[in-house]
Amino acid sequence: MFQTPLKPHLLFSIVFLIFSGSILPSLSAEVDYRYANCAINSTCGPSVIKYPFWETKRPNYCGHRGFELDCQGDSLTIDITNQTYNVLNIDYSSYILTISNPAISNSSCPPTLTQLTNSTLDPTLFKLASSSQNATLFYDCSQASNELKAPYNFTCTTGGYFVRPTIIYAFLETEDRWKPRLGGLCKVKVYNPVLSAEVLRLSNKMSSIDGVLSKGFEVKWNVDDQQCDACYSSGGFCGYNYTLNQPICFCKDGASGKNCNDPETQLDQTPSPKNDSRRPIIIGLGVAASVSIILLGILCFLRRRLHKRIQSSPAVLAQNKTFSASSAASDFQVVNNSTYFGVQVLSYRELEEATENFNPLKELGDGGFGTVYHGKLGDGREVAIKRLYEHNNRRAEQFMNEVEILAHIRHKNLVALYGCTHRQSRELLLVYEYIPNGTVADHLHGRRAKQSLLHWATRLSIAIETAGALAYLHSSDIIHRDVKTQNILLDKEFSVKVADFGLSRLFPLDATHVSTAPQGTPGYVDPEYHQCYQLTEKSDVFSFGVVLAELISSKPAVDITRQRQDINLSSMAMNKIQNHALHEFVDPDLGFESDCKLKNQITDVAELAFRCLQSTSDLRPSMEEVLEILQRIQGQGNQVDKADEVDIPSDDAFMLKSDFSPTSPRTDGNFVRQLIPHASV
């Protein structure tokens, strides 16, 4: 029954083979010193430093000229045109570097004005990103400058214990309209770009000038590193050849060229400057690894023999006969890591091939957390592949969050998740069904808007299907948290697919709200959520109200070129409705004034948007109620006989008569009749 013990000389032979096979290569094969110096990405605080960037402690061939970073503690700095900037963030997927001017990033009032310098860029390496805009700081302005009433003015105080304090008038100018006059009234002028989103927050009094300056600005680096993708895929690491002024691939065996699989790659026999000192270390590591492998081999051998003895006993043999096929399948699933939360796990290489090595021409768009590419799997399925940004420190959390949520929900108007990479993969990738007709934002005010008009009946259908998807999520205790027209996809039949669940939250049972730091897209964020840090289902309702306003007006949620009070579409919609000027808000191409039935429907939807956009969440309807109202509006519109007169339920009429806003519109019956001419009050 039991096997004959292994003979001593045979065991010795096995041990000798393991020892010789493991230690001899370690003595003979050395890793190229340039590969070793550049192979492991360095970190500084939360930032990962890799090509084209390189840290001062490393050889300069590890990075591109002009991309040297200095790490002090957890802080990174970079020198551009002889000026030092703080590095706030590095986004390798979109080539975006976020930097700030240290002289003003901590305070808009620097200790001395004489040391201020303009924030300038090296145009051969960097350019201002589209997310940032030019701005100018004016200091030491005359008192007459106050009469200009220019926005974003502030004061600084100079002096101290022994010097009489002096008040200095200053301005942050972002629109260029005040520059000529301020230039003649102020002694110091400093050029410093800012983030457009932060200027918007400042205009809405959600931030301060110090807050705007502390966020810095974004620049896009202009370095051709496409060759590096092939280098990394072949097992090499990218560096820079300062003689040829181009990237070079460092390979483990000392070869260098375009990539380690390139037949034209030349073997570089340049001796390592540290060969002699490294050899004892390499030998020591080889011996240690060999001993570990020997011990591991002996343990595995002994364990296997013990396992065979146990398995050969009659009791175990009888028990094994009852082992079910379903259990075997379950074990196979776990061992092979074929699913994750029930979602198919795909290899990084397969998805890399599906997108042609993440070809920029395959990009469908950028989101808050990743770039989406069009791809085609080996089985012929067309898919959309989201590649999460490497700079995002919470990307693993968002990855698992989205997989877990989409794995457990099924709805015709929610995008389907086909698969994902393993959470320990080289990169975190999510694979969705491909929706070919763009987003609602594209059709309303984006690149598809000029091609054809999105008719009102289609817009109303989009609103209903989106509301249905959100109502389903809320019934499943899920808050989407990033409802916007960019996340509402359209198929060829203009049916809705709600996407992007990276920010979504599972809502705890029996909870009235979730306390969390505000996240989302400017223009869509619930003001109560922003003030109280309390996330509820009504936060999605507010965002959906903005979507309704976009469907009515064809205007984007945020537009800094509009009048200051109308930059946020939600504010613009509320003002137009309260001031009986809905006709000024509606997209003129819809035929609001010429079609009575259409006018009634748009007016009713505008009224619903008004309710959704209330600043107090308790005054907003639930998503289920929103869906019912929209379906009723669509049904009434389909009844041609009743197209001339549509009664508004008493609850809705009461909403219009009530004053829910800081301003005081007319709240008598005339207001209702002027707002909705066909209403019965």
Strand duo 343-345 + 417-420: pairing: parallel
Residues 6+ apart with CB under 8 A from 205: none
CA triplet 407, 412, 413: central angle to 5 degrees? 95
Q: For this structure, is 224 an active site residue? A: no
Q: Is 321 assigned to a binding site?
A: no
DSSP code, position 614: -
409-413: list long-range contacts, CB under 8 Å, 24+ apart: 409/472, 409/473, 409/476, 409/478, 411/468, 411/469, 411/472, 412/495, 413/465, 413/466, 413/468, 413/469, 413/472, 413/495, 413/496, 413/497, 413/498
> Tokens for 502?
């990276």
DSSP string, 206-234: SS-HHHHHHT-EEEEE----HHHHHHHHT
> Tokens for 4?
């004959």
Residues 6+ apart with CB under 8 A from 155: 167, 168, 169, 170
Q: Which CA distances in Å does 234 have to 258, 349, 420, 561, 666? A: 10, 12, 23, 48, 71
DSSP code, position 240: E
Helix (H, G, I), strand (E, B) or coil at 455: coil
Amino acid at 177: R
- Cα–Cα nearest to 538, from 554, 502, 514, 509: 514
Measure CA 209 to chain center: 25
- On whether the CB atoms of residues 186 and 171 are closer than 8 A, the answer is yes
Q: Which residue numbers belong to the known binding site for ATP?
A: 386
Active-site residue numbers?
Answer: 482
